[in-house]
């Protein structure tokens, strides 16, 4: 208020608007706004104005709100049925939306809130591989700072059986949009594995999505790659890969290079030595390149859409992660954006949502989201998918 008062006082003394606005660090639009308010309201113009809205979108007349509460207490119905009752009981008024009625009930403590079940990482069943490409291991080695003060996050991928280092790419973030091109390049060069083992961190898993699935994991499922996740805080379950990280840290990150290009050159040189020149004790002194051969499963695009012959319909998930059925919008998860899912009615007004071979969850007429089914990726429930 004092600043505005000084600003107007100097204007009244004859100083120019443009110069004053530059001195006070405001635009001329704001300066004229303050001065015009002063001319209209005097000193009251310097006080902060309330930002309270003039009207509330879901504010109802108290008589209608009282009727809604009376119907709820008498019959115990939900918002849709109360709305239908209001249309019959009070035909002279415009009926409020079901969401507005629900907000009234919620405000008066008449809505029973369900606890949202949050996915808790627990790992999956882990199986070894006796042949190359039966299992790949992927992880981000711990970040480190380059000479130019930028952090580098090396994404590494190895073959479980041969210990062959398929990729070591220095990235500026662990976000999925940076990891996608690396995996796609590796798939094009070496083919597809039967399974990929990772931890439960980003971008391999997501704590906010169904069963911890991420966009990257959903893509792997579309490619016919089985998911393997270690238990939280059990890095020894990916011990072969972690041992490679120790060698990588000693030979290619200390001291760190100045920028990403220089650091990637060191990573590429490390890959060459690790695969073709460094004898591996666990392999009887052989090189990883002596045992590794590319996968016969080729990476081909475009991917065929999933087929759901035993479901009532196939629905494509919207970019915001919803299933649209008529006018209904059911929240699923953004990790399935653009994917086709199958919908099947398993009981009266209860539908099952499936993605490929996996049952994701159920929704009914009253719920606006999918409630999770039993975890199909749990330790005892991982499906073995065919190479096709």
Mean pLDDT split into 10-residue runs, the chain, 388 residues: 81 88 86 85 65 60 88 88 90 85 86 62 86 97 94 97 96 95 96 96 89 95 95 92 95 94 96 96 94 96 91 93 86 94 87 93 80 82 38
Alpha helix positions (H), 42-161? 62-75, 79-89, 98-107
pLDDT of residue 14: 87
Looking at the whole model, is its pTM more than 0.75?
no
Alpha helix positions (H), 25-154? 28-41, 62-75, 79-89, 98-107
pLDDT of residue 50: 59
Q: What is the dihedral of CA 58, 60, 66, 70, to 10 degrees?
A: -50
Identify the H or E element spanning 158.
Answer: strand 151-159
Give the whole-angstrom CA distance, residue 258 versus residue 147: 4
Contact 36, 45 (CB under 8 A): no
Which residues fall within 8 angstroms of residue 236, CB to CB, at 6 or more apart?
Answer: 242
pLDDT of residue 109: 85
The domain 136-291 is placed in CATH, from the list 2.40.340.10, 3.40.50.720, 3.30.420.10, 3.40.228.10, at: 3.30.420.10
């Amino acid at each position: 208020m004092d600043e505005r008062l000084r600003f107007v006082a100097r204007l009244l003394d004859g100083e120019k608007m443009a110069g004053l606005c530059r001195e006070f660090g405001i635009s001329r639009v704001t300066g004229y706004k303050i001065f015009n308010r002063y001319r209209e309201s005097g000193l009251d113009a310097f006080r902060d104005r309330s930002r309270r809205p003039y009207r509330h979108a879901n504010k109802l007349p108290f008589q209608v709100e009282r009727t809604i509460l009376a119907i709820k207490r008498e019959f115990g119905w939900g918002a849709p049925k109360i709305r239908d009752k209001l249309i019959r009981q009070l035909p002279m008024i415009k009926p409020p939306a079901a969401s507005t009625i629900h907000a009234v009930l919620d405000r008066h403590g008449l809505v029973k809130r369900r606890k949202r079940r949050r996915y808790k990482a627990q790992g999956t069943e882990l199986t070894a591989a006796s042949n190359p490409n039966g299992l790949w291991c992927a992880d981000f080695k711990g970040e480190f700072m380059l000479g130019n003060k930028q952090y580098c996050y090396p994404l590494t991928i190895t073959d479980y059986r041969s210990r062959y280092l398929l990729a070591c790419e220095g990235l500026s973030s662990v976000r999925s949009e940076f990891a996608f091109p690396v995996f796609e390049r590796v798939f094009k060069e070496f083919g597809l594995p039967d399974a990929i083992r990772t931890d439960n961190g980003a971008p391999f898993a997501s704590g906010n999505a169904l069963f911890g699935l991420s966009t990257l994991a959903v893509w792997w499922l579309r490619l016919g790659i089985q998911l393997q996740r270690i238990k939280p805080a059990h890095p020894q379950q990916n011990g072969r890969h972690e041992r490679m990280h120790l060698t990588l840290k000693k030979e290619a990150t200390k001291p760190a290079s100045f920028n990403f290009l220089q650091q990637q050159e060191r990573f590429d040189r490390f890959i060459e030595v690790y695969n073709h020149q460094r004898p591996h004790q666990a392999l009887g002194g052989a090189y990883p390149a002596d045992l590794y051969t590319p996968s016969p499963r080729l990476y081909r695009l475009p991917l065929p859409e999933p087929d759901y012959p035993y479901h009532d319909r196939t629905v494509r998930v919207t970019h915001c992660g919803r299933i649209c059925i008529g006018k209904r919008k059911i929240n699923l998860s953004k990790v399935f954006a653009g994917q086709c899912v199958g919908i099947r009615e398993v009981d009266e007004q209860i539908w099952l949502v499936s993605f490929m071979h996996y049952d994701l969850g159920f929704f009914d007429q009253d719920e606006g989201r999918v409630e999770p089914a039993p975890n199909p990726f749990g330790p005892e429930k991982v499906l073995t998918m065919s190479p096709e």
